[in-house]
């Protein structure tokens, strides 16, 4: 795994620039310290906020609630024996190398910005995010925490190497990486099921912004979890239908 926050390298590999991070309609700059914004091996972006000391409680409260929602969603999915899902895994969402002030023992204790729930079914991976990545009209990649996003692919990743192109150099050294195919949608808005389509790339990626009525920041954990499970099952069924049609 290799990571960078270098704007020139990110632009060269993805054609994109770094935008903003949002929570509850509040805009934050994306944290650039520690070379963690782009994993240039997987193509995953790691966007998390620059947080002032007086903002840390809001983020800790949100991330604690996010943890409880993922736990409840995992329980509900496990109870659905007809789903055909394999193991249901909730990642811790931690990221090594972020600034110490975010760490549990040395600061805010909120290094859980990247939790995901992943299931495998019929040799595909299906993933739930409680954050929504999107590309704006200025080709900036942004991330809204508290907005749900689903994706599915053959390898469990949302972005992939563009192997039709030659590798490019990373910085001034001898390290190289493929340019990336970025599958983030061009809008943060909710989509309808007619927009669920697998890419024609190697990993057959599909990314979807479901319409969730509840508010993750302020809503009920139980009702939100049930709504997410309902929408996720519909997403999986729709992907399977498209694959088999």
80 CB burial (10 A radius; 0-12, 13-18, 19+): exposed
Q: What is the residue range of 221's domain?
A: 3-244
Higher pLDDT, 107 or 4: 4
Instruction: State the pLDDT confidence band at 29, using cuts at 50, 70 and 90.
Output: very high
Instruction: State the pLDDT confidence band at 61, using cuts at 50, 70 and 90.
Output: very high
Percent of the chain clearing pLDDT 90 (strictly above): 71
Q: Which two tokens stand for residue 161?
A: 């190497």
- What is the per-residue pLDDT for 81? 66
85-139 pLDDT, tens digit per residue, is: 888 999 989 888 788 788 766 667 788 999 999 999 999 999 999 999 999 999 9
Are the C-beta atoms of 210 and 230 separated by less than 8 Å? no
Q: What angle do CA 6, 167, 180 make, to 5 degrees?
A: 60
Domain count, the chain: 1
The pTM assigned to this predicted structure is 0.94
Which of 32-46, 145-159, 200-214 comes out lowest in average pLDDT? 32-46
The pLDDT of 210-229, averaged and rounded, is 92
Which of 63-72, 97-106, 169-178 comes out lowest in average pLDDT? 97-106
């Amino acid at each position: 795994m290799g990571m960078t926050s270098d704007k020139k390298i990110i632009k060269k590999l993805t054609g994109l620039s770094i935008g903003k991070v949002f929570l509850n309609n509040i805009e934050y700059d994306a944290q650039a310290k520690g070379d963690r914004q782009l994993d240039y091996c997987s193509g995953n972006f790691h966007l998390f906020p620059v947080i002032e000391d007086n903002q840390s409680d809001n983020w800790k409260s949100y991330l604690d609630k996010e943890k409880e929602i993922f736990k409840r969603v995992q329980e509900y999915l496990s109870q659905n024996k007809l789903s055909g899902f394999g193991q249901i895994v909730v990642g811790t969402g931690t990221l090594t190398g972020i600034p110490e002030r975010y760490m549990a023992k040395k600061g805010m204790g909120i290094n859980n910005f990247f939790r995901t729930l992943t299931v495998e079914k019929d040799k595909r991976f299906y993933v739930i995010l409680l954050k929504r990545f999107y590309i704006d009209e200025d080709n900036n990649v942004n991330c809204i925490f508290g907005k749900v996003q689903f994706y599915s692919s053959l390898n469990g990743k949302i972005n992939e190497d563009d192997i039709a192109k030659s590798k490019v150099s990373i910085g001034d050294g001898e390290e190289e990486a493929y340019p990336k195919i970025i599958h983030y949608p061009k809008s943060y808005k909710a989509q309808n099921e007619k927009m669920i389509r697998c890419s024609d790339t190697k990993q057959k990626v599909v990314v979807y912004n479901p319409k969730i009525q509840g508010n993750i920041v302020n809503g009920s954990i139980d009702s939100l979890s049930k709504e997410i499970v309902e929408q996720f099952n519909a997403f999986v069924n729709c992907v399977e239908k498209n694959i088999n049609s």
